[in-house]
Structure 1
Amino acid sequence: MTQLNGGAALVAALEIHGVDTVFGIPGTHNLSAFAALASSRIQCVLTRHEQGAGYAADGYARVSGKPGVCLTTTGPAILNAAAAAAQAWSDSVPVLFVSPGMPTGHPGRGNGELHEVKDQQAALEALVAYSHRVRSVEEIPGAVAQAFAAMRTGRPRPVHLEIPLDLLEASAEVRLVDPIEPAVASARPEAVGAAARRLRGAQRPTLVVGGGARSAAGQVRRVAERLDAPVVTTANGKGVLDETHPLSVGAGLHHPSVRSLLEHSDVVLAVGTELAPSDLWNGPMVLDDKLVRVDIDAVSITTNGNPSMRVVGDAAVVLDQLLTALGGEDSDTASGDDAGRAAAARAGLRADAAVEGEPWRDIVEGLSSVVGDDTVIAGDSTMSCYYGVLSGVRVRRPAGFLYPTGGGTLGFGLPAAIGAALAPGRPRVLALLGDGGAMFTLPELATAAALGLSLPIVVVDNGGYGEIRNEMADRGDPIEAVRLGGVDFAAAARALGCHGLAIRSAAELAPAVEKAFAADRPTLLHITENSRATQDGVV
């Protein structure tokens, strides 16, 4: 038992759960928490907006495999982070959002307290796994332990913890609570055995791998090699199997070649994926009779498809069980033989991607040449990402491509890149943004500069909200409220403490990115449609 105020109890609880980085902004109501952070082992990253703090915590969580933490003050501050909470929910990312709340004894219908909103907890409850309001200082360590247990058990989702502002200042005898060991989510042996028999008998098996398999990269590779099965991934699963592996088809379930591959497979093993409309794009695929599905979420295992076999459990654990049940040895395909179904499917996907991504071919080629074993691309919801990089640039590690798939939020890429760059191991990270999305969180350039990150930030500028502009044209609507342009992003970057460079030709991109990886601060590279002109016209 230790005498602590609520802020110190919160920070001590975070420390005991292995938190090394917190993203956020101090305010009048959370000062005791920041005072405790100042004397703790936790790095406090001051972002320029709470939404940026939430996205940075999301990027940190995806790359590190640990829950990210976003600490804000009350009312408008935590509501600023609400879009990030919704994005974390949609992509199953464990982020702990912590904020003060109105004091204990606060009138139920309000009294005009600073930062008061009608029902802060209800607002967050609508977006995350749960929002919990503690009732005493003594409860704080247990509430933190329960939040981490929830984020580490089953399908990872964000959690919101609300601490009344008076409890953050109040002191009490506090007992810290050790981390709760999550249950090992193994599958029923009979379900694994049935799946193994089905897969052993398959002539044309294929794996579909989603973000839920990020912690099972080794097992995914071994299962693919054991079955000699092509592997296609969703956006969030991109890189779970090194995309230079002979069995990797690539990422992008929406391509006609991928649809054909799955339709002509006799068994499709889907691991850690919702098979969601945001991945399929062009309507559902009816795979029910051939679908063997592995998912941690029993509720979702029949979402977007009713599999013939359901194997509920953690991806890594279940695939280890499946390898044992399959028996035999891994296929020699892993040794580098590029022949067979995987090579044909890969060629088909690359052909589809080349057609779809032609307007961004120069970006794809430039970035492909700088992506190494440990490179992470943090992308925004921008055309150069989902039409270009998603299927056109091969990444080699799990969470090698961070993308806001489910929520499709703008402004994600830059702060997510900051969070990813601070993850243990400090991977080599670059951000890829559109000019529209860049403006949502542009002030986070100052955050990256203050941290001294060697972070390339590529802004592909097409003068507006290009996707929406195209949709308006396709509908025959007037082109309205989508034109932007006129922003000197390189100058803005310099004003915020970064290097800033206007890219004059596509050929300059790759060497500029490599130089930025070695720079003493972030480097924004602004590339416009005019600067991407080639001898054949504008790409």
Structure 2
Amino acid sequence: MTCAELLIRLLRDTYGTDTVFGIPGVHTVELYRGLAGGEASGLRHVTPRHEQGAGFMADGYARATGRPGVCFIITGPGMTNIATAMGQALADSVPMLVISSVSRRDTLGRGQGRLHELPSQQQLIAGVARFSQTLLDPDALPETLARAFAVFEGARPGPVHIEIPIDLFDAPVRAPRTWQRRALAPAAPAEAALAQAVDWLGTAARPLVLLGGGCVDAPQAARSLVEALDAPTVTTINAKGLLGRDHPLDLGANASLPAVRALAREADVVLAIGTELGETDYDVVFDDGFHLDGRLIRVDIDAQQLARNQAADLALVANADQALEALAARFAGVRLARDGGARTRAALAALDLPRDPAFAAYVPLFATLREALPEAILVGDSCATTYAANHLVAQPAPRRFFNASTGYGTLGYGLPAALGASLARPDLPVVALVGDGGIMFTLSELACAVEEGLPVVILLWHNQGYEEIRRFMDSAGVTRLGVDIRAPDFLTLAQGFGCLATRVAAPAELAHALATRPADGPLLIEIDAAAWQTAVD
């Protein structure tokens, strides 16, 4: 078999890949011969309209399932196009496998002006990947893929890039001795450190738990542990839904707000698992005001992360799921009384988010969504509705809320990532939260949504430009420039793609649009922000 055919078989038969996102090009024709061959009949190919869209789709697919999203990308411009999506996935520890072509081996680095040539594609992409490797020996492909999936399963995940010279796609290769996947046991916490953590948590008077996106695959252990500890718990944006909807100990993703910060300062023992303790979760007001004065226990799969942001008194290098399950087992049958529920209620009452002027207009929006689509996955761009949802929305399970406001904070993420989530979870409705500014970055992916028949609801909040940047300019005393931009007629554009579209200005109209959404294709719902504000006041 050829190297391209071996790649397809390994992805499908060994690693369980069922979907690939990519745009074919002259350098990847042989790869597509392998993809379209009879043996690859179980592998779905989805064609986005831009490589950045391919990366965001793979990201949404990965976050919705926990399995790596896979992309096939052309040499040169294809890779520079997908680099932004890889940056977002790197920042949020999202598993993504990017397979690309690269120039022939005998021309690499020679600067001959070859088609799509870069001085070093591998070096350029290495900065947005856990690792980037050039395959120079086709028989090394199984080992290289095994390394990639070892990162996804046993280390801090993120994008991995493997580039294959175009003269190797049709090179003959030996079949591997076995198609069986190598089993990889996740890292467990050290017993002595675990015992110390149990002692500190068991004797704490005012414990606080911080759960991040690394914990999303252990919801039962997470609930058991925080209930045993009777500890108020911050669930970050990427951990939303981990404790279930409206859990009495869940403070939500509100660590940047005063009442939750007060709890953090008062806590005598803080347990932080699978969280960076980074700015976009704990300091979205950008004042460096999140302080932990008590003993800090940190658990992370990445040893380097344990030395960043907040100094730990006890640091455990371990898989977050393993640590949660081990701690939950140590406290099995225990129900400590620390007034956790009362402390959580008091903090949420002090926040009073539904009455906060910054959030009040969005409360009926998310109430309408919750009533109409209670099980939906919400996927957000960097936009006003997403920022509000980070604080207001509660989800029934993990992996049903993610967005681009964390980490890298790119624009254009919401629409294609929602398509990836819909492909991954066709059993659940998917809603994209986007703004009139950000959607213009990847609006072309409406064509892919229509082509694939994906019933994604695209909730477009139209506030006439870049509202967040307007506010920052006004606050800084900077004259507005480049933020009051002209928007197109989104309904006409959507209909041109073959996408149903409507405009609403009040909760009742939104409820009707959601109730009558199509089952076999996308629906764009444009909300006039000014009219909505008037309707809900």
| TM bracket (short chain) | over 0.9
Counting only pairs closer than 5 Å after superposition, residues 220-235 of structure 1 correspond to structure 2 as 220-235=222-237
Question: Which of these residues, 190, 193, 206, is aligned with residue 191 of structure 1?
Answer: 193
| 1:9 correspondence with 2:11 | no
Separation of aligned partners in 2, 1:268 and 1:37: 49
Separation of aligned partners in 2, 1:242 and 1:531: 34
Q: Return the offset for 1:78.
A: 1.4
Question: Which of these residues, 318, 323, 331, is aligned with residue 318 of structure 1?
Answer: 323
Q: Return the offset for 1:418.
A: 0.7
What residue number does 2:18 align with?
A: 20
Q: Return the offset for 1:441.
A: 0.5
What residue number does 1:492 align with?
A: 493
Counting only pairs closer than 5 Å after superposition, residues 118-157 of structure 1 correspond to structure 2 as 118-157=119-158
The verdict on how the C-alpha distance between 1:349 and 1:269 changes in structure 2, with shifts beyond 3 A counting, is: farther
Question: Which of these residues, 14, 34, 53, is aligned with residue 32 of structure 2?
Answer: 34
Separation of aligned partners in 1, 2:350 and 2:181: 47
What residue number does 1:206 align with?
A: 208
Deviations 1:399-447 (A, max 9, x none): 2211121000001011110111111563221101011110000011111
Asked if the contact 1:11/1:37 (under 8 Å) is kept, the reply is: yes
SS at match of 1:474: helix
Asked if the contact 1:191/1:309 (under 8 Å) is kept, the reply is: yes
Asked if the contact 2:266/2:293 (under 8 Å) is kept, the reply is: no
SS at match of 2:217: helix
Q: 176-185 or 480-489, which moves further after superposition?
A: 176-185
Code of the residue aligned with 1:115 in structure 2: it is H
What residue number does 1:521 align with?
A: 521
Separation of aligned partners in 1, 2:465 and 2:196: 52
Structure 2 alignment gaps of length 5 or more: none
Q: Return the offset for 1:352.
A: 7.7
What residue number does 2:296 align with?
A: 291
Q: Return the offset for 1:330.
A: 4.9
Code of the residue aligned with 1:325 in structure 2: it is R
Q: 181-190 or 352-361, which moves further after superposition?
A: 352-361
Counting only pairs closer than 5 Å after superposition, residues 119-518 of structure 1 correspond to structure 2 as 119-175=120-176, 178-279=180-281, 280-281=283-284, 282-287=287-292, 289-330=294-335, 340-351=342-353, 354-372=356-374, 374-386=375-387, 388-404=388-404, 405-424=406-425, 426-516=427-517, 518=518
Q: Return the offset for 1:246.
A: 1.9
SS at match of 1:340: helix
Deviations 1:35-58 (A, max 9, x none): 222231111111111000100101
Q: 89-98 or 420-429, which moves further after superposition?
A: 420-429
Deviations 1:174-206 (A, max 9, x none): 326542322321011111111001111112212
What residue number does 1:116 align with?
A: 117
Deviations 1:362-387 (A, max 9, x none): 43333233342x3210000112211x
Q: Return the offset for 1:332.
A: 9.9
Code of the residue aligned with 2:3 in structure 1: it is G
Q: Return the offset for 1:117.
A: 1.4
Asked if the contact 1:420/1:427 (under 8 Å) is kept, the reply is: no
The verdict on how the C-alpha distance between 1:533 and 1:129 changes in structure 2, with shifts beyond 3 A counting, is: closer
Deviations 1:478-526 (A, max 9, x none): 110112233211221111121111114343113312332x532100001
Asked if the contact 1:152/1:182 (under 8 Å) is kept, the reply is: yes
Code of the residue aligned with 2:275 in structure 1: it is T
Asked if the contact 2:361/2:536 (under 8 Å) is kept, the reply is: no
Asked if the contact 1:192/1:325 (under 8 Å) is kept, the reply is: no
Asked if the contact 2:214/2:274 (under 8 Å) is kept, the reply is: yes
Deviations 1:42-97 (A, max 9, x none): 11111111000100101111110111111111100111000001110000001001
Q: Return the offset for 1:323.
A: 2.2
| TM-score normalized by the length of structure 1 | 0.93
Separation of aligned partners in 1, 2:34 and 2:500: 34
Code of the residue aligned with 2:175 in structure 1: it is V
Code of the residue aligned with 1:507 in structure 2: it is A
Asked if the contact 2:232/2:341 (under 8 Å) is kept, the reply is: no
Counting matched residue pairs gives: 528
The verdict on how the C-alpha distance between 1:107 and 1:380 changes in structure 2, with shifts beyond 3 A counting, is: closer
Separation of aligned partners in 1, 2:50 and 2:260: 40
SS at match of 2:399: coil
Code of the residue aligned with 1:324 in structure 2: it is A
The verdict on how the C-alpha distance between 1:101 and 1:330 changes in structure 2, with shifts beyond 3 A counting, is: farther
Separation of aligned partners in 1, 2:411 and 2:83: 13
The verdict on how the C-alpha distance between 1:441 and 1:425 changes in structure 2, with shifts beyond 3 A counting, is: closer
Asked if the contact 1:287/1:307 (under 8 Å) is kept, the reply is: no
SS at match of 2:424: coil
Separation of aligned partners in 2, 1:250 and 1:274: 16
Q: 276-285 or 346-355, which moves further after superposition?
A: 346-355
Separation of aligned partners in 2, 1:109 and 1:27: 22
Separation of aligned partners in 1, 2:434 and 2:347: 29
Deviations 1:202-226 (A, max 9, x none): 1221211111111121111110111
Asked if the contact 2:353/2:392 (under 8 Å) is kept, the reply is: no
| TM-score normalized by the length of structure 2 | 0.94
Asked if the contact 1:371/1:395 (under 8 Å) is kept, the reply is: no
SS at match of 1:105: helix
Q: Return the offset for 1:325.
A: 2.6
Code of the residue aligned with 1:190 in structure 2: it is A
Asked if the contact 1:30/1:73 (under 8 Å) is kept, the reply is: yes
Asked if the contact 1:498/1:522 (under 8 Å) is kept, the reply is: yes
Structure 1 alignment gaps of length 5 or more: none
Asked if the contact 2:267/2:293 (under 8 Å) is kept, the reply is: no
Code of the residue aligned with 2:24 in structure 1: it is P
Q: 355-364 or 128-137, which moves further after superposition?
A: 355-364
The verdict on how the C-alpha distance between 1:514 and 1:304 changes in structure 2, with shifts beyond 3 A counting, is: farther
The verdict on how the C-alpha distance between 1:249 and 1:371 changes in structure 2, with shifts beyond 3 A counting, is: farther
Separation of aligned partners in 2, 1:225 and 1:339: 9
The verdict on how the C-alpha distance between 1:10 and 1:353 changes in structure 2, with shifts beyond 3 A counting, is: farther
The verdict on how the C-alpha distance between 1:371 and 1:307 changes in structure 2, with shifts beyond 3 A counting, is: farther
Asked if the contact 1:231/1:250 (under 8 Å) is kept, the reply is: yes
Q: 219-228 or 422-431, which moves further after superposition?
A: 422-431
SS at match of 1:98: strand
Deviations 1:449-473 (A, max 9, x none): 1111111100001110111111111
The verdict on how the C-alpha distance between 1:349 and 1:11 changes in structure 2, with shifts beyond 3 A counting, is: farther
